[in-house]
Every structure is written in C-alpha cells, then in structure tokens.
C-alpha cells in the first residue's frame, strides 16, 4: 500500500464526519478506537480497507450527497447568492466547489454563525417562522447596560409595526449582553436597541438551534453527523408543532 493512500486516524475520523480531530485525539488516547480490532498508537494511519471502530461500533462514511456547512461570517460579507449584484458576497468569499446557499441572513455589519447548504428541504424547515428556532447572539452597545434595558428587551420592543416576542436577555458585562431570539425580523436586535436609545457596536451570532460557533472568523466546517441528527430531530418536532397549530387555526377559522 502506498503512503499516499494512508490517512492519519484522527484525520480519518474527522473526514468521515464522525468528530473533530481534537475529539478524535481524545478518543484515541482513551483507547476507545480500534483498527482491525487492535488499539492503535497516536499518529497511526488508516488504509482504505481497514475497519475502524469507536466503542465497538464500526465507523462508516455517513456523509450524504448534501453539503451542510457552519461558517463564521466576517463583518463586511453579504449573505446573498447573487454574485453579479454584490462583490462582497458570501458565495465568492467561501469559494466552495459545489453550489450552496445560506440559510437565512446575517447583515453586513454583523459577524458569526451562518449555515450554508444545497439541501432546499432543510432550508424551508429552518426558515419557517412558526417553528420558533433559537438563535443566540452576543452584542456590545455604546453605553452601560441598565437593568431596565435588560427587562424591556426581554419583554418585547415595538419595531416594524409589531412588538418583538419575549426573549431571553442576559447581561455579560458593562457594555455586553447575550440575547436568544426565536424570530428573525429585519435587523431586529439593532432596531430593538435603537428604540431604547442604545447603539449596537458589535453583533455576533454564536448559535443556531443546536449548532454552535466553533471556527475562526472567515472559516467553515461541515456539520458532524450527530449535529445533523439532532438538527433534524429538532426540525421534525417543530414541524409537528406547526402542523398542530395549523389544524387548530383551521378549526377556529373555517
């Protein structure tokens, strides 16, 4: 077998989508990984025909034909697929070899987590407003945060001819707070702050549902199988809730 066909074990576990390389190193150190029934040393390489087990379970390439990426969007990049209209668009920036598109938006002045995929079905499920999917942000503002600000942000603020849904808001520092939204109004957090006479200085999205931001700015990674499994379970449960509400509303309004 030529050296070029061999892959380091930690890289193999990462490439097949089982876990990150760091997590793989920990599994190997703990003796939970075997190659052809033998517990390997750190740095051991895997050949294409080798059988790799973790905790006795055979590890196969579980990736589907779809692509699911978690990307840490830098400030200044626009979440559009129209490469002719906007030069600083997310598609040209990532330069992914397959055609993908962002799920939702993150405005140009904001940074942080955005998901990209070529799976239109999952896009529709995530974007459905009635599903109440959580998105978490860390925000800094231009003046000290008061308890009144936290309470008013939490209980709903008038923006765009409506009142925002109640949400979780927690003070992290003198000028910094965390907010978890379950709706996606245009520039919602910035508008909420402006209504209360605060100006957003920085805004970073750190979580979408069960997916957490864990890559450097400007970098992306594929979702791990466990993340995708949990994500699909969350979408399945919320779809049931949506269908139940629709049925109830139909009965109320024939």
What are the chain's domains? 3-58 (3.10.290.10), 63-130+210-237 (3.30.70.580), 134-208 (3.30.70.1560)
Q: Which residue, 123, 198, 130, 120, is CA-closest to 165? A: 130
Task: Say if residues 198 and 141 touch (Cβ distance below 8 Å).
Answer: yes
Q: What are 122-165's pLDDT values in tens digits?
A: 877 887 755 678 999 999 999 999 999 999 999 999 999 999 99
Name the catalytic one among 107, 118, 119, 230: 107
**Given this model, what pLDDT does residue 88 score?**
87
Whole-number Å distance between alpha carbons of 74 and 66: 24
Per-residue pLDDT reduced to its tens digit, 178-228: 999 998 888 999 999 999 999 999 999 999 999 999 999 999 999 998 899
pLDDT value at residue 13: 84
pLDDT at 49: 83
Q: Is 230 a catalytic residue?
A: no
Q: What are phi and psi of 116, to 5 degrees?
A: -130, 150
* Long-range contacts of residues 221-227, Cβ cutoff 8 Å, at least 24 apart: 221/69, 221/70, 222/17, 222/63, 222/67, 222/68, 222/69, 222/70, 223/68, 223/69, 223/70, 223/115, 224/17, 224/18, 224/19, 224/20, 225/17, 225/18, 225/62, 225/63
């Amino acid at each position: 077998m030529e050296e070029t066909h061999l892959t380091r074990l930690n890289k193999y576990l990462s490439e097949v989508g089982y876990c990150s390389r760091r997590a793989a190193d920990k599994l190997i150190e703990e003796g939970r990984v075997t190659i052809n029934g033998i517990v390997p040393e750190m740095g051991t390489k895997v050949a294409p025909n080798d059988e790799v087990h973790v905790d006795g379970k055979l590890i196969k390439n579980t990736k589907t034909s779809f692509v699911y990426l978690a990307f840490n969007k830098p400030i200044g990049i626009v979440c559009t697929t129209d490469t002719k209209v906007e030069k600083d668009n997310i598609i040209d920036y990532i330069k992914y070899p397959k055609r993908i598109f962002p799920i939702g938006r993150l405005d140009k002045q904001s940074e942080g987590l955005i998901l990209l995929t070529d799976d239109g079905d999952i896009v529709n499920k995530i974007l459905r407003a009635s599903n109440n999917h959580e998105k978490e942000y860390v925000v800094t503002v231009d003046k000290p945060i008061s308890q009144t600000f936290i309470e008013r942000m939490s209980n709903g603020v008038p923006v765009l001819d409506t009142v925002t849904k109640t949400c979780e808001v927690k003070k992290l520092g003198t000028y910094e707070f965390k907010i978890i939204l379950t709706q996606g109004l245009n520039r919602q957090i910035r508008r909420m702050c402006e209504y209360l006479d605060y100006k957003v200085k920085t805004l970073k999205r750190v979580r979408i549902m069960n997916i957490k931001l864990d890559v450097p700015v400007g970098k992306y990674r594929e979702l791990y199988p466990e993340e995708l499994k949990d994500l699909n379970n969350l979408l399945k449960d919320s779809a049931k809730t949506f269908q139940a509400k629709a049925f109830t509303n139909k009965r109320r309004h024939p």
